[in-house]
Amino acid sequence: MKKELTAFIEKYEERILGQSLNIRLLLSAILSGGHVLLEGVPGTGKTQMVRTLADLLGGSFNRIQFTPDLLPSDITGSMIYNMKEGTFQTLKGPIFTNILLADEINRTPAKTQAALLEAMEEKQVTIQGETYQLPDVFFVVATQNPIEFEGTYPLPEAQQDRFLFKLYIDFPSFEEEKNVLKLVIENSFAENPLSSILDIETFREIRKEIEKVTVSETVLGYILQIVRKTREAESIRFGASTRAGISIGKAAQAWAYLLGRDYVTPDDIKKVAKPALRHRIQVSPHIELEGVTVDQIIEELVGSVPVPR
C-alpha cells in the first residue's frame, strides 16, 4: 500500500472519530469505483465524513439537498439561452464533480432520484439530447434518515442496486463522543484546516494497483455461493443479483489492498458481504414480523457457506 494512502487513513480517522470501520469501507467503495448509501440519524457526522474525504483527496466536492420540489435538471444541468450572443449554452449541474453528496435522497420523488441512475452507472449525463462525460473519479454518497418517513419516497430496488455498499452510521462510544465535543468546543478543527494528502493522479494509480489484486477461482466460487444462497433462503423474499457478486469481489480487492495484501481471502469476503448485500435483499414478511434484521440473516447465511481452504 502506498505511504500516501496510509497517511490518508490516519488523518481521516483523526478527524472522524469512532467510525474506523465505516471510514475503511467508504474508502474501499471509492477505490473500487462504487457508490455508497449512508443511513444514520441526524447529527452523527454523515456530511462531515464525506466532506473530509473530498478534502483529503484534493478533489472537487458538491452537495445537493434533496427536497420534494427538486427537479432532475437541478442535478444534471440544463440549456439556457444567452441573449447577448443569441445562442443556447449548456449550464452543467452540481453532478459534474469528483465527490457528490446526495443529502436525504429519499426526500425527492422517483423522477428526480432516477436522474442519478445514468450518471452512477454510465458516468455520463444527457442534457437536452447531448451526452457529457463525468470525471473518471466520480463518487456518489447518498444519505438517508432512518427515523422519519413522513413525506419520503423510498428508493426503488433498481436504484438501491446501483450502490456498492449501504453503511449504517451509529453513535460513537462515550469516550469518542466526549473527544468530539472537546475538539469542536475548543475549535480545534478550525485551527487545523485540512489539506489534501492524495491527488487525483495518485488515486488513479492506486485504483490500477487494486485491479491487479488476485481473486482466486476458489474465492470467486465462495462469492457466488453466498450470492446464490440469498436466492434460496426461505427467510429472503428476493435474493441478490449478479451485480451483488461483482460488488463483493471488487470491494474485497480494495479491502485486501488496504490491509497490504495483493490477494483476496475468504475473510475479506466476509467483511464486505454485509454492507454489499443488506440493501439488495428483501426479507420475507413473516421473518420481518419476528423482529429479525437483514444483518442477522446475512450473518447466518454467510456462516452457512463452507469456507474454502
Contact 196, 202 (CB under 8 A): no
User: Is residue 309 very low, low, confident or very high in pLDDT (cuts 50, 70, 90)?
Assistant: confident
Of 229 and 115, more confident: 229
Residues 6+ apart with CB under 8 A from 302: 226, 270, 273, 274
Task: Report pLDDT for 155.
Answer: 82
173-192 per-position pLDDT tens digit: 888 888 878 878 877 666 56
pLDDT of 222 strictly over 90: yes
pTM to 2 decimal places: 0.89
24-78 per-position pLDDT tens digit: 999 999 999 999 999 988 877 888 899 999 989 888 999 999 999 999 999 999 8
Task: Report pLDDT for 223.
Answer: 96
- The proportion of the chain whose per-residue pLDDT surpasses 70, expressed as a percent, equals 96
Q: For residues 252-268, give the mean pLDDT.
A: 95
Task: Report pLDDT for 90.
Answer: 85
CA nearest to 50, candidates 66, 39, 61 = 61
Q: What is the biggest distance separating any 2 CA atoms in the chain, rounded to whole angstroms?
A: 70
Q: Where are the alpha helices (DSSP H) in the chain?
A: 3-15, 20-31, 46-57, 72-76, 110-113, 115-122, 157-160, 174-185, 188-191, 200-211, 217-232, 242-258, 266-277, 285-289, 294-304
What is the set of domains in the chain, with CATH numbers?
3-191 (3.40.50.300), 212-304 (1.10.8.80)
